[in-house]
Structure 1
Amino acid sequence: MSATDQILTAAAAALDHPDAREVMRLSTADWLACGIAGRHEPVAQSVRALVESEGGQGQATLFGSGRAPARAAALLNGAASHALDYDDTHFAHIGHPSVAVLPAALAVGEMQGARLSGVIDAALVGCEASIRFGVLFGRAHYQAGFHQTATAGAFGATVAAARLLGLSSDATNHALSLVTTRASGLKSQFGTMGKPFNAGIAASNGVEAALLAQAGFTSASQALDGMNGFLATHHCDGMAEQQADPWMLSISHKFHACCHGLHATLEALATLPGTDPASISAIEVITHPRWLTVCHIPEPQTGLQLKFSYRAIVAAALLGHDTARLDTYTDALCHDAGLVALRDKVEVRADETLAETEAVVRIETPGGITEAHHDLDAPMSVDSRKARLAGKVAALVGEDVADAIWQAIEADDLSSISALM
């Protein structure tokens, strides 16, 4: 059995796991809230202008308003939902599955007149495939500069679109073969509009490849693992360190509106007893070395930089600022005298024995040292995850819209989801 067939078989098996299905429903609510909140961001407006200029038959709903051809809708909705960088992540391959896969699934689902449950099932299989392809590509692929959200995500988007179109096994393989020559996206775009655009590219590529395969388009049989194939040309490890259980069970949802590299630290901090910031003499954060080049801006000057600063985010949390709220991250907070004074008591150091999902926090006061550890990969029950996400969704879009999102998902109502977008 080829690597592609193994991945497709394992991805489809996720449908047999009730918890995986429920996690995908939660990710759908999370994705919708991120897209609704991000629809007015500059990257979303720029892509909207492009989509509207092209015209075409309105097959699928756009975040903000209007409809467009499925491929164009996937492009805009992927970019808009990743504009705030507040969507789910999977650390097995370091990618954002939902923002690549759900826009493709929704666009094709609307085009096909599918039920919401069908869209969610296709998205589950697509997200699972995205992660499994990402694991196959490996860390060498990511370290070489490829953005897995865009590359692995395009494969997952193709799988979801192919499922909703009812493609045969052969046609699905042709679609995946074709997407090997379309999957693209570089980490050099991080910190620019290009990063969320990468998610849109992945979603659009998946829709395009699946629609072409439906129309009879054929492609190379060994485009993934043959000579000059994707694995050989994209710095891929080519070793699938897979697992039997669905990878989606360990998806990491963001509960703080900042770089995911900071989240283990914030979660550890939250488990410590309340401490008077004035009594703190020193704070130590211990993290995996890779994050020191990602989110360790020592003295952030802007709200955006605050999202990538261990020292400042720890100070903000200890001072009672809500790190889940988008409006916490302001230029003014970076220059607040109290925050700066506490920030300067924070020391950050690396420990390569920690996993990328782990962090340790130590706080020293006259009463002694308190310490906490957190691992983002620690199991989280579906109920706990839902409770955390309910608070996040409400904070992003308001109680009324949040209630409407949950009601639409429970009612299996795709038209209500489209209306909310």
Structure 2
Amino acid sequence: MSLIETVLDLGTLPRSQMPPHSLRLARLSLFDWAVCGRAGTREPLSAKLRELAVHEGGHPSASIFGGGRYPARMAALVNGATSHALDYDDTHFAHVGHLSVGIYPAALAVGEETGADGQSVVEAFLAGAEAAIRIGVALGTAHYNRGFHQTATAGAFGATIAAARLYGLNREQTRAAIGLCATRASGLKSQFGTMGKPYNAGIAASNGIECASLARMGFTSCADGLNGPQGFLPTHTDAAVPDLAPVSAFLFDDVKYKFHACCHGTHAMIEGLLDTFAAHPASLETVERITLRTNPRWLRVCDIPAPATGLEVKFSYRWLAGMVVDDRATGVDTVYTDALAADPSLADFARRVEVVADEGIDDMQAAGEIEMRDGETLAFAHDLARPLPADVLEEKLLAKAKALIGTEAGALQALIHDLDDMDAGAIGHIIRDAA
């Protein structure tokens, strides 16, 4: 089956055919997304986007983080960017991007607009996420390495599927929406380290609603905007479309959650160092050198050798390694300040960290050696692909939520356990006014 037909099948997949484990993970992603969004309201870009929403006004149909209701497309833009502002949201490594921040804002905004129940919002997200993953896989690392941000490109198609499902579009209308998204999807990695990176997530969500809305009105487009002549894939990647698993086998189950408030490409290193130093305590003074081996593609993403801002620290292997050695919290977003980037002790330690590209290590792994000043050499390694049970994930996500938003975490946890009794409006109320 062609990619476009697979994506269209996902858009209308009945609830009964969605794996229960995938649906449970989708609820955890809703909780994690809401936590990241609530915490992200403190970021400057969030205030600027809320100001834009107030300036443009319009029909108040959907909620935004930080308060207020605005048109669905604007709400998706604000919520997508706000929830990605801390770069602390979930990641799917096969998709090569972040799923929740580009798709949940579209699903919730359309869900509020149409009066959908909470479970339908989750199902729309899951269908859109699975579609985005498959498109991301088809685009491949060639697309990412060329400079595109798959959170925004493949993610926009996922947002389109989620919005189309909740709007009740038929197959041909959804096909048109995908075709429109093919000419609308955008996002570049050159924005990393600036407000433009989280803005990319908002663009994805906003594009999804716009394309589905136009298709709903009868707007026409090409028959195969994905892999047709001069479609999105032929123009945006040199990779051949791989054989994909049947719709019944969900790739979404490999979603990974962040427990450190920095680029996910650094997390395997952080976890490996934490495991090693738990057994062998160290300090900046006792470590002579760290050699990190990582997948080559991460060198273009999170290997800023001398970060100038707190935001850039999130993309710096060397600074983050020093933070772990110095027992500084990597899971608290407020730690990443400009003063941290200017810290002389971390700057000195960064010169003792060597980052090496290793084709034999995949993008979810890290390995290396720690040379101690007493002559001992310690090996470290970690693989993020190692699965965690759902109850363990929930426990870790709740701890993360409490660290980010304090007492609000309890109210947001209802998005996991009480969702069957909620409609989209109730979810919107929680993300606006959690207490």
TM-score, length basis structure 1: 0.93
- In structure 1, C-alpha distance between the alignment counterparts of 2:14 and 2:192, rounded to whole Å: 34
Q: Which moved more, 1:50-59 or 1:359-368?
A: 359-368
Partner Cα separation in structure 2 for residue 143 and residue 306 of structure 1: 21
In the alignment, is the contact (CA less than 8 A) between 1:56 and 1:68 conserved in 2?
yes
The alpha carbon displacement at 1:410 in A equals 1.4
Q: Distance in 1 between matches of 2:280 and 2:392?
A: 22
Partner of 2:321: 314
- State the shift of 1:13 in Å: 7.8
**Higher mean displacement: 11-20 or 113-122:** 11-20
Report % sequence identity.
Answer: 48
TM-score, normalisation: structure 2? 0.90
- How many residues matched? 420
Deviation at 1:308, TM superposition (A): 2.0
- Report what 1:381 is aligned to: 389
Range with greater deviation from structure 2 (77-86 or 342-351): 342-351
Aligned to 1:397: 405
1:341: Cα distance to partner?
4.8
Letter in 2 for 1:292: L
Give the direction of change, closer, same or farther, for the CA distance of 1:188–1:283 in structure 2 (3 Å limit). closer
What's the Cα RMSD here? 2.1
Equivalent residue number for residue 3 of structure 2: 3
- 2:427: which partner in 1? 417
**Offset of 1:230 from its aligned partner?**
1.9
Pick which of 260-269 and 322-331 moved more: 322-331
Determine the structure 2 residue equivalent to 1:180: 182
Q: Is the 8 A contact 1:408 1:416 kept in 2?
A: no
TM-aligned CA deviation for residue 337 of structure 1: 5.1
Question: Which residue matches 1:363?
Answer: 370
Instruction: Say if 1:269 and 1:361, in contact at 8 Å, map to a contact too.
Output: no
Contact 1:132 1:240 in 2 (8 A): no
Cα separation, 1, equivalents of 2:366 and 2:380: 8
Q: Match of 1:264, as an amino acid?
A: A
Q: Which residue of 2 aligns with 1:193?
A: 195
**Residue aligned with 1:258, SS:** coil
Over 3 Å counting, the alpha-carbon distance change for 1:334 and 1:153 in structure 2 is closer
Maintained 8 Å contact 1:89/1:253: yes
Secondary structure of 2:165's match? Answer: helix
Distance 1:367 1:230 in 2: 54
CA 1:280/1:234 → structure 2, altered by over 3 Å: closer, same or farther?
A: closer
The offset of 1:238, in angstroms, is 4.4
The residue number in structure 2 matching 1:345 is 352
Structure 1 residue aligned with 2:40 = 38
Q: 1:223-281: CA deviations, max 9, x gaps?
A: 33222222222235240342343121111211111121211100111221141324333
Q: Which runs of 5+ in 2 are unaligned?
A: none
Alignment of 1:18-417 (within 5 A): 18-244=20-246, 245-272=249-276, 273-277=279-283, 278-336=285-343, 338-365=345-372, 366=374, 368-398=376-406, 400-412=407-419, 413=422, 414-417=424-427
Contact 2:303 2:315 in 1 (8 A): yes
- The CA deviation at 1:105 is 0.2
Task: Flag structure 1 segments of 5+ consecutive residues without an equivalent.
Answer: none
> Secondary structure of 1:148's partner?
coil
Q: 1:237, 1:281 → 2: CA distance? A: 42
Q: CA deviation at 1:198?
A: 1.4
- C-alpha separation between the residues in 2 aligned to 1:223 and 1:235? 14
Q: State the distance in 2 between where 1:312 and 1:103 align.
A: 32
Instruction: Provide the C-alpha distance between the structure 2 equivalents of 1:331 and 1:222, rounded to a whole number of angstroms.
Output: 46
Cα 1:334–1:51 change in 2 (3 A) is closer
SS in 2 for 1:295: coil
Distance 1:55 1:302 in 2: 33
